Structure 1
Amino acid sequence: MNDNANSTQLTTPQQTFARISRLVGPKPPFKLKEIWAIRIRLQLQEQTRDLALFDLAIDSKLRGCDLVKLQIHDIAHNGRVMSRATVTQQKTGQPVRFELTEQTRDAVAAWINKAHLFSGHYLFPSRIRQSPHLSTRQYARIVKSWAELIGLDPMEYGTHSLRRTKATLIYKRTKNLRAVQLLLGHTKLESTVRYLGIEVDDALEMSEQTEA
């Protein structure tokens, strides 16, 4: 075997690091056009549960462990889905408030009606008998299927992609870091900066706008 053949099979440390970072590093948020692409696909396929889960994940900005444990009474009252809700976070024990847009309320209401769910029921029951609600592992697989649905690499996306999506859009539009901190339920502003990768994004943006 010649040297050229060997060189095609070897990877540099930088390439190896890049591959590992892609698999285990921070998952990117979905872009606006990707949000709509997924939403339209789910609507066309009449995936009522997934559409409700997708829209609610974006609006609530909840961690997967909190999202899958939502019960009907957390977001609906007297048969109506509320425009705002409050949930106590499992990780911090602190409450966090979030809004539900009209399209999310419609999607969730459609799912509640289709699944015949009532107050006290989990919003997303598991199809596995041993679990009363969707597990975080099941949710993670669903998120990857959404990415794959529109031609994205499923390995690059995870549950935090949904949690970061709206928070990232809000920051880019307003630059109001304190507001994003409150919406994510972070106790420290530094956590929000790291979570959104703001310093890196801002540095890259400034670099792109600067001619050498």
Structure 2
Amino acid sequence: MGISQYDPAAVGRTAWNAGKQVGAKRALKIRQIWSIRFFLDREGRMRDRALFDLAIDSKLRGCDLVQIKIGTLVAGGAIRARSMVTQQKTGRPVQFEISADTRASLLSWLERRGGSVDDYVFPSRVNVAGHLSTRQYARLVDEWVIAIGLRPEEYGTHSLRRTKASIIYKATGNLRAIQILLGHAKIENTVRYLGVDVEDALALAEATEI
């Protein structure tokens, strides 16, 4: 059998996924969430703590998270308990809660950051009028997980998006609620995203007495 001219090996090129872990990134566990928080607090990384907390609560994709503006989170000098953004990928609006811990870290950051309601919550380092890039956000996530002894190959920005959704699913088994929180158009997407399998379904069934 010959080698296709489109095979990277035929021209000595390395495949794009060579040596990389391909597939869904792992969600963080509760103790890992707190380990990252302790690390960020110890290092005095106020912006990163606010970014991390908001990423967990909002369950947003990185492209939507970095583009949040102050006015989306703030009302009357206080951080909202709930907010809403329109997803860039789907054009669908999605609501999210902002927990007390997240409101506190956001308020501390915004008091230091300053700015108006039209400014981005997390500004760019190179362009004051711009926002933090998704690439820089990904680098920060790598730093955070490495700092607590995790492998960056196994975690990424999507780990933060799926963390709270996974915790809620394990506690309730309510896929429809997770679909709404993640802003998925189809529940099949939610099933694949969470990695729900037969074992999950059987575990829920076994825990139900009739």
Please indicate the TM-score interval, normalised by the length of the shorter structure: 0.7 to 0.9
1:204 and 1:41, CA in 2 relative to 1: closer, same or farther beyond 3 A? farther
Percent same amino acid among aligned pairs?
A: 54
- Matched to 2:62, the amino acid is G
State the distance in 2 between where 1:56 and 1:200 align: 32
Match of 1:55 among 38, 53, 59: 53
State the distance in 1 between where 2:188 and 2:202 align: 19
State the distance in 2 between where 1:205 and 1:110 align: 42
State the distance in 1 between where 2:106 and 2:160 align: 17
2:79 is aligned to: 81
2:12 is aligned to: none
Contact kept, 8 Å, 2:119 with 2:129, in 1: the verdict is: no
State the distance in 2 between where 1:166 and 1:201 align: 20
1:1-212 to 2 correspondences below 5 Å: 23-129=21-127, 132-199=130-197, 202=200
Q: CA deviation digits over 1:119-150, x for unaligned, max 9? A: 11100001023871001111011111110010
Paired residue total: 188
State the distance in 1 between where 2:20 and 2:196 align: 18
- Matched to 2:190, the amino acid is T
Deviation at 1:32, TM superposition (A): 0.7
Q: Structure 2: give runs of 5+ residues left out of the alignment.
A: 1-16, 205-210
State the distance in 2 between where 1:151 and 1:102 align: 27
TM-score by length of 1: 0.84
Alignment RMSD (CA, Å): 2.0
State the distance in 2 between where 1:76 and 1:192 align: 30
1:53 and 1:204, CA in 2 relative to 1: closer, same or farther beyond 3 A? farther
Deviation at 1:156, TM superposition (A): 1.3
1:78 and 1:40, CA in 2 relative to 1: closer, same or farther beyond 3 A? same
- Matched to 2:181, the amino acid is L
State the distance in 1 between where 2:105 and 2:156 align: 22
Q: CA deviation digits over 1:152-182, x for unaligned, max 9? A: 1112111100000000000000001000000
TM-score by length of 2: 0.84
Higher normalized helix content (fraction of residues): 1
